[in-house]
Amino acid sequence: MSRNVLLLPGDGIGPEIVAEAEKVLHKVNDQFGLGLSFESALVGGAAIDETDTPLPEETLEKARKADAILLGAVGGPKWDSLPMAKRPEKGLLGLRSNLELFANLRPAILYPQLASASSLKPEVVSGLDILIVRELTGGIYFGQPRGVRELESGERQGYNTYQYTESEIRRIGRVAFEAAQQRGKKLCSVDKANVLEVTVLWREIMEDLKREYPDVELSHMYVDNAAMQLVRAPKQFDVIVTGNMFGDILSDEAAMLTGSIGMLPSASLNSDKQGMYEPCHGSAPDIAGQGIANPLATILSAAMMLRYSLNEEKAALAIEAAVSKVLDQGLRTADIMSEGGQKVSTRDMGEAVLNAL
C-alpha cells in the first residue's frame, strides 16, 4: 500500500529544514519498508512569486489527496506589504480550513540535555512535558464580519468577531480529553469566561464533556493566569485545551520554556486523522539562507506524522531516539548552543540524525 506524503517547504528557512526532514523520512522509509511516496508543492510566498496566490489550486488538490503533509514555514518581509488576502499566511490558513484541520497538537517537552537552554531555572522546567491542544479553524482568526471600516465620525475602526459553535467546542474538547486519557489524565481548559461570552459557552461545554471522561481531572483557568502559571510553575500542567488565539500565544510561550522554538514539532489533524505537520516556529527570515537553522523541530514533526497519520509508531520512535542521541553527542545548532556543546550547521544536524538512525 503506497501512502503519499506532500512536502511544502515554503519560505525563509522552510526549504533548508524540510530538506533535512525529507532525508530522514527517506531513510526510515527504506529501513522500515513504509511504502511512502513523496511529492512537493508551492505554498506561501514561494507560491505568490510563481503563481500570484499563496495557495495555488494545484497545491490544494495535492494536499487533499495526500495522506499527510509536512510543511516548513511561510512568510517574510518580502510579502509583508501585500493586502491581507494575498499574504503568505493565507496559504497556511487556507490549508487548515480546507482540510478542516481543527485540532492542533503542540507538545512542549524539555529534553534533559537542553535544560540549561531554557531561560527559566532548571528546577522549574526540568522534566517538563506539556501538550497544548489548540483549536485551529475557528475563533477570532476566522470569525465574520471582520475588517476596517470608516465610522460616521470619519475615524477608522478595525474589528474582528470571536465566535465558536457548540459543535466546534465539543470536537476539540474530545481530542483534548482523549489525549489526557493517554497521558497524565489532567486537562486544564483555558478561557476568559470572566469577560467573553464565547468562552462562557466554552467552559460550559467542557464541563458537559467531563461526564464522558470520568478518569480525567478537568480544571479551568483564565488565559492571563495561564500565561503567568506557565512561567511560574509549568509542571502543574499535563494537557491544556484552548481556543485559536489563546492557543497561538500560550503555545509559543510554552515553546520558549523548553529553550528553543527550534525544537518543537506540531500536528494539525482533522477527524479522518489526515494531518499537516510543521515546526512551531515561523520562517525565521533573519537567519534564512545561512545554513544555521535548527532542523530538529521539523524532523520531530515528521516523527509525529508517522505516529498520528501513518500509524508507524516504530519509525516515529526511531526518529525521536535518533534526535535524543545527537543531543547526547553534544551537537547543537546556534539556537540551542550552550557551554560545552559542538556548534553545527543545519545540514550537519540532519546528517547526524541520519547517522544515528
Which residues belong to the annotated binding site? 76-89, 96, 106, 134, 224, 248, 252, 282-294
Examine the residue annotation and report whether 248 is marked as an active-site residue of this protein. Answer: yes
* Cα 172 from Cα 57, distance rounded (Å): 28
Judged by CB under 6 A, the residue of 251, 283, 301, 309 near ligand NAD is 283
- Number of residues binding to ligand NAD, judged by CB under 6 A: 21
- For the chain, the distance separating the N- and C-terminal CA atoms, rounded to the nearest angstrom, is 24
Position 16 contacts ligand NAD (CB under 6 A) = no
DSSP states of 98-130? HTT--EEEEEEE--GGGGGGSSS-HHHHTT-EE
CB-nearer residue toward ligand NAD: 21 or 180: 21
**Residues contributing to the annotated binding site for NAD(+):** 76-89, 282-294
Catalytic-labelled residue, pool 248, 277, 308, 335: 248
Examine the residue annotation and report whether 238 is marked as an active-site residue of this protein. Answer: no
Question: Of the listed pieces 106-114, 169-177, 198-206, 289-297, which binds ligand NAD according to CB under 6 A?
Answer: 289-297
Q: State the burial class of residue 78 (Cβ atoms within 10 Å of its Cβ: 0-12, 13-18, 19+).
A: middle
Q: How far is the CB of 12 from ligand NAD (least distance, A)?
A: 6
In this structure, are residues 255 and 279 in contact, taking their beta carbons and an 8 Å threshold? no
Judged by CB under 6 A, the residue of 30, 197, 286, 313 near ligand NAD is 286
Position 264 contacts ligand NAD (CB under 6 A) = no
- Cell 539556537 found at: 335
Examine the residue annotation and report whether 129 is marked as an active-site residue of this protein. Answer: no
Site string for ligand NAD, 292-331 (x = CB under 6 A): -xx--x----------------------------------
- Count H helices, E strands: the chain? 12, 14
Question: Of the listed pieces 26-34, 103-111, 189-197, 291-299, which binds ligand NAD according to CB under 6 A?
Answer: 291-299
Examine the residue annotation and report whether 273 is marked as an active-site residue of this protein. Answer: no
φ, ψ of residue 181 to 5 degrees: the values are -60, -35
Residues 40 to 99 in contact with ligand NAD, rule: CB under 6 A: 73-76, 89, 92
Residues 232 to 261 in contact with ligand NAD, rule: CB under 6 A: 261
DSSP states of 304-331? HHHHHTS--HHHHHHHHHHHHHHHHTTE
* Cα 345 from Cα 263, distance rounded (Å): 15
Catalytic-labelled residue, pool 30, 208, 224, 328: 224
Q: List, in order, residues 6 or more apart from 161 with CB less than 8 Å away.
A: 140, 143, 144, 145, 146
Q: Which among 71, 17, 88, 37 has a CA at the least distance from the CA of 278?
A: 71
Question: Of the listed pieces 61-69, 163-171, 284-292, 301-309, which binds ligand NAD according to CB under 6 A?
Answer: 284-292
Cell matching residue 164: 465558536
Examine the residue annotation and report whether 192 is marked as an active-site residue of this protein. Answer: yes
Catalytic-labelled residue, pool 11, 191, 192, 213: 192
Cell matching residue 85: 488576502
Active site residues: 141, 192, 224, 248, 252
Binding site for ligand NAD (CB under 6 A): 13, 73-76, 89, 92, 261-262, 278, 281-287, 293-294, 297, 335
